[in-house]
Amino acid sequence: MVKIIARTPRWLSRPSPGHQLFQHNGRSKAPQTPGLRPEGSLRKLAHRGTEIFIAVGNELRWSDLALLKHADDEGEGGDDVEDETGQLYRLLKTPVSRPIQQLVVSPSGDFIALVTSHTCHIGILPASSHLNSGDTTPLRMKCFQVGPTAHVLEQAPIVSAVWHPLSSTGSGLVTVTKDACVRLWELDRDNRSTFDEPSLAVDLKKLANAADTRADLSASKYGVSNGFSPDDVEMQVAAACFGGQGTDEEHGWSSMTLWVAMTEGDVYALCPFLPSKWRAPASMLPSLSTSVVSRMRAANADNEATEAERRVANQQTTWLAELDAQDAMVLPGPSEYETMEVYSRPETPGILPKLQGPFYMTTDIESGEITDIHVIAPKIDEDDMYDEEDDDVPAAEGLSVGVVCLATSNSKVHICLDLDGVEAEWLPSKRSRAFTFDDGEIGNDLLLFETLDLSTANIDPDGCSTFTASPNDRQEVFVTTPAGVVHLDFKPWTTLLDDEFCAPSPEGLNFRLRVLLDSASTTLTSLIAMPTNAERGVNTAIAVYDPLNLGGVAVLTSAMNTPSLALLDVPHEQAAHPYAPDEVAATLPAPESRSPYQPAEAFYATSALPQLIKTAHDKRLLGSDLKGQVRYSSATLQVMTEAHRILSAETHKLGLAAADLFRRCERMRSEVRDQVRRVNEIAGKVDVVVGGENDEGQDDTQVALTGGVTGGKAMEDRVRASRNRTTQLRDRVEVLRKKMAGLGGKELSVKEKGFAAEVERVWESLAAAGSASHDTGSSTKVAGVQGPVRPQAPTRPSRILHMDNSWQDAEEREQQHEDPEDEGHERVHKEAGTLIARFEAVQDLQERLKAQVEEVSRRSEEAQAGAEQEVNASAQGNAFKMRKLEEVRMLLERETALVEGVSERLSRLAAG
């Protein structure tokens, strides 16, 4: 669950410059139709980083959230922002004559789409440094009208304007009209014709009924009347979006899939829908190759595969082969350290894809009309794309299937899963003469996972609900409803569900999925609550991510010319430590932040009565001054009736605003009284425990509990007794410490005790040097060393091995730090002689071995060279003897070092 830091801060409240940024100052000349609800969603807010663009009527205003916040921190700006020298926003003049309903900034930040009900203009945005220069004078922005004959008042209204995520220049605009016509504009500021004619246009109604590519699929043109079709009602577009954002974590087909939602509930998809020049993320081509190859193999291996499945597999293979044959153009990326690969759109099997759908929900639902659609792309399949040895590839987050979210007019959100996935499909070049069941269009299914009801009791749910993508997590989304803005978090169930999808064994899968569906749900967090009379003018929220200047994610929206903002905290990822304390449990729960009170517009609205009186005097309707005698006439009655109508409406609004303020004040008073009562109860309990009340404030029960001592004296007595006992314990501990110190001196450490035991053991070994050599346990080893040496070959290596083993046993015994006391004497008797005896035995053995080596060497030189076997045996024996001689020399050196070390320790102990 997200953490809300603040709601509607001071720099956006009245009368700050941030609040005046959203106010209608009366300079807009756009025609207004009172009481008419605009078609489609209101997206009058857009942003480029922390820069925000607001449409007020037909005006376009620019400001910066960081600038507004900094001005409030510095105490700048003033209240009168209408003055050109004090305002903190800038007016961008445009040729748009009608009210702007949608603002969409291009991914590159160079263009902004100004969409009215029927027209669309593209403005070239100035650089951020130019707008932040400090000059607040109006700036005329260069604009071009898109589709002077396609998007006009005589044609269908525009419902969606979306920038293509894979456009190489960031200027590919897709416009979708109410009559299901999709147009792709590849805009170029140096080529005026790109604003007049689209590069790709298609009528979805024609495409849905087309059987091959030879049919006329062009969009409707100006001045051409179209006949009646049943699809005119069922295929009225509500919204459109792309299935991905063009990132490396998404599946290859997602970013080139255009999803279109109809108001009646049907959902369609176009894949691939690409401009003539498009960029490919790093993981797109490997993902597409994996998908196409696997589909081709499955179609060839399955004997029951239909003709349509084989045709789609062949089409995808042909399309990918043409793409692989191209030499990608490497162009500079968004930053100076990045590059992007640009490809041309393949011409085969065609530039227009097949219309896939409609996608039906598996459960029949009764809800309102669809108002918006949002799609979360499935993640890439890393197991198929990368080898098992590639451990450095980070794991992608999300689901392996797509998530399709549909918002309705009654504030409900349907979360569906696209289990089959959408891949590229094209129409056949010619229709087959033989009729098959594949010719019938059967739509795919969307599995309904969850339905969320975001409506409230006080606000009418009928309205336009819209989605806003999260700037830092694909598994989150913001929903704007007539009641406010709600945050949806899908991460509580996406990870668990993806683990079940990727599970290698299907045993118990149905049971686990049933438990998951019953327990897991989307996390809802209400961010912004709208007033009860603002449902007709709620703008789609924008999410601005700027932890440096804003401190997190700022979710901004507006209603009735009043801004509302919720600042969300972004948790920082820290390495988990097994012994780290739980921060959530350690800290106290923070109080829930509440939106500050925003005065109603009725308190600041200008009354229309003075203008009515002035108009009546100009037209001589009153016949005399208001201070004089009023004449009874029909004109006077008309003026009084109109004045009564105006006053009744204005006083009613003032009464509602005052009543709302009164209810808020009463609620605050009740909350304060409740808090004071709780504080008094806690204070009373604390006083009973610590005895903080006076003698008159305690009853008989409290006096009995304190033993007859009342008031603060009981607490003082308890503290005094505790201090006295602490002093006594400290004195006793000091006395015991002195006694222990006088008994045995300073206590030895563990290392000192171990060293003393080792010295004692060595001393006993040296003292018993004469008697230990005749011990039965060591007679075998000593005899092997001191006995007469016979010139037999097998005998000498065995003695050396005995010596080596005895040295290893002694070394292992010396490396041990702690030995039990009951085994000390036994270990002394089990040693293979004392150190002195072992040293003398090694010296004797060295002399004997030297003599033997010299004798063997002399004999080997006199041997005949013709006896090859004897020579080889002599050489092997010589090498073996030399190796053993080296081992003996090493043993001698180690024994010498050990004796010297023990001697030095004994000398130091004697000196001590």
The pLDDT of 560-570, averaged and rounded, is 87
- CA 896/CA 838 separation, integer angstroms: 10
> What is the residue whose two structure tokens read 């590519």?
213
The residue ranking higher by pLDDT, 725 or 768, is: 725
Residue 344 has what pLDDT? 93
Residue 800 has what pLDDT? 34
pLDDT value at 828 more than 60: no
Q: Which of 359, 348, 357 minimizes the C-alpha distance to 428?
A: 348
Interior/surface letters 733-752, b for 16+ CB within 10 angstroms, e for the rest:
eeeeeeeeeeeeeeeeeeee
Residue 371 has what pLDDT? 92
pLDDT value at 623 more than 60: no
Is 59 a domain residue? no
End residue of a domain, out of 637, 656, 684: 684
End residue of a domain, out of 486, 501, 522: 522
Cβ atoms of 511 and 501 within 8 Å: the answer is no
The pLDDT of 443-468, averaged and rounded, is 83
Is 484 a domain residue? yes
Note whether 769 and 880 are same-domain residues.
yes
The residue ranking higher by pLDDT, 444 or 530, is: 530
Note whether 680 and 755 are same-domain residues.
no
Cβ atoms of 71 and 77 within 8 Å: the answer is yes
Q: Which of 55, 50, 47 minimizes the C-alpha distance to 91?
A: 55
Mean pLDDT: which of 343-347, 431-435, 507-511, 585-589 is highest? 343-347
The pLDDT of 140-159, averaged and rounded, is 91
- Residue 45 — very low, low, confident or very high, per pLDDT cuts 50/70/90? very high
Max CA pair span of the chain = 159
Question: Which element (helix H / strand E) includes 46?
Answer: strand 45-48
Note whether 491 and 620 are same-domain residues.
no
> What is the residue whose two structure tokens read 């009170």?
597
pLDDT value at 885 more than 90: no
Is 464 a domain residue? no
The pLDDT of 391-403, averaged and rounded, is 70
Is 206 a domain residue? yes
Query: CA of 825: how far to CAs of 634, 761, 764, 772, in Å?
Result: 134, 8, 9, 12
Q: 371 in helix, strand or coil?
A: strand
The residue ranking higher by pLDDT, 541 or 768, is: 541
pLDDT value at 457 more than 60: yes
pLDDT value at 811 more than 60: no
Residue 62 CA from chain centroid, whole number: 29
Cβ atoms of 339 and 437 within 8 Å: the answer is no
- Residue 806 — very low, low, confident or very high, per pLDDT cuts 50/70/90? very low
Residue 707 has what pLDDT? 52
Note whether 211 and 332 are same-domain residues.
yes
Interior/surface letters 821-853, b for 16+ CB within 10 angstroms, e for the rest:
eeeeeeebeebbbbbebbbbbbeebeeebeeee
The pLDDT of 71-86, averaged and rounded, is 53
- CA 470/CA 555 separation, integer angstroms: 10
pLDDT value at 175 more than 90: yes
Note whether 285 and 164 are same-domain residues.
yes
Note whether 244 and 354 are same-domain residues.
yes
The pLDDT of 174-179, averaged and rounded, is 94
- The mean-pLDDT minimum among 99-108, 403-412, 634-643 falls in 634-643
Note whether 791 and 680 are same-domain residues.
no
Mean pLDDT: which of 133-137, 230-234, 334-338, 623-627 is highest? 133-137
Is 469 a domain residue? no
pLDDT value at 746 more than 80: no
The pLDDT of 402-406, averaged and rounded, is 93
Query: CA of 358: how far to CAs of 257, 265, 287, in Å?
Result: 14, 9, 26
Residue 911 has what pLDDT? 66
End residue of a domain, out of 647, 668, 684: 684
- Residue 80 — very low, low, confident or very high, per pLDDT cuts 50/70/90? very low
Residue 584 has what pLDDT? 41
pLDDT value at 436 more than 70: no
- CA 83/CA 53 separation, integer angstroms: 20
Residue 804 has what pLDDT? 41
Cβ atoms of 16 and 72 within 8 Å: the answer is yes
Note whether 634 and 516 are same-domain residues.
no
* Count of domains for the chain: 3
The pLDDT of 8-26, averaged and rounded, is 83
Is 30 a domain residue? no
Note whether 625 and 501 are same-domain residues.
no
- CA 784/CA 341 separation, integer angstroms: 82
Question: Which element (helix H / strand E) includes 1?
Answer: none
Is 48 a domain residue? no
**Residues in CB range of 614: below 8 A, 6 or more apart:** none
- The mean-pLDDT minimum among 25-29, 489-493, 666-670 falls in 25-29
pLDDT digits (tens, 9 = 90+) for 697-708: 455 555 544 455
Question: Which element (helix H / strand E) includes 620?
Answer: none
pLDDT value at 6 more than 70: yes
Note whether 784 and 677 are same-domain residues.
no
Residue 58 has what pLDDT? 86
Residue 587 has what pLDDT? 46
- CA 723/CA 195 separation, integer angstroms: 88
Q: 77 in helix, strand or coil?
A: coil
pLDDT digits (tens, 9 = 90+) for 186-199: 999 889 999 999 99
- The mean-pLDDT minimum among 182-191, 675-684, 761-770 falls in 761-770
Residue 435 has what pLDDT? 44
Residue 29 has what pLDDT? 52
Residue 726 has what pLDDT? 93
Residue 669: CB atoms within 10 A of its CB come to 10
- CA 195/CA 42 separation, integer angstroms: 24
Is 369 a domain residue? yes
Q: 486 in helix, strand or coil?
A: strand
- Residue 723 — very low, low, confident or very high, per pLDDT cuts 50/70/90? very high
- CA 204/CA 370 separation, integer angstroms: 18
- The mean-pLDDT minimum among 1-15, 53-67, 244-258, 758-772 falls in 758-772
Cβ atoms of 407 and 478 within 8 Å: the answer is no
Residue 85 has what pLDDT? 41
Percentage of residues of the chain with pLDDT beyond 90: 29
- CA 123/CA 115 separation, integer angstroms: 11
- Pinpoint the alpha helices (H) of 624-772: 634-690, 700-705, 712-744, 750-767, 769-772
Q: The domain containing residue 633 runs over which residues?
A: 609-684
Residue 789 has what pLDDT? 36
- CA 362/CA 417 separation, integer angstroms: 10
- CA 244/CA 403 separation, integer angstroms: 11
pLDDT digits (tens, 9 = 90+) for 322-343: 999 998 898 887 777 788 899 9
The pLDDT of 631-640, averaged and rounded, is 80
- 385 burial (CB, 10 Å; 0-12 / 13-18 / 19+) is middle
Calculate the CA dihedral of residues 720, 723, 724, 726 and round it to 10 degrees: 160
- CA 257/CA 270 separation, integer angstroms: 6
Mean pLDDT: which of 443-452, 709-718, 854-863 is highest? 443-452
Note whether 401 and 315 are same-domain residues.
yes
Note whether 765 and 673 are same-domain residues.
no
- The mean-pLDDT minimum among 54-68, 300-314, 397-411, 797-811 falls in 797-811
- CA 367/CA 264 separation, integer angstroms: 10
Residue 28 has what pLDDT? 52
Arithmetic mean of pLDDT over the chain: 78
The count of residues in the chain is 912
- CA 377/CA 375 separation, integer angstroms: 6
Q: How far apart are the first and last CA of the chain?
A: 70
Residue 105 has what pLDDT? 95
Cβ atoms of 261 and 178 within 8 Å: the answer is no
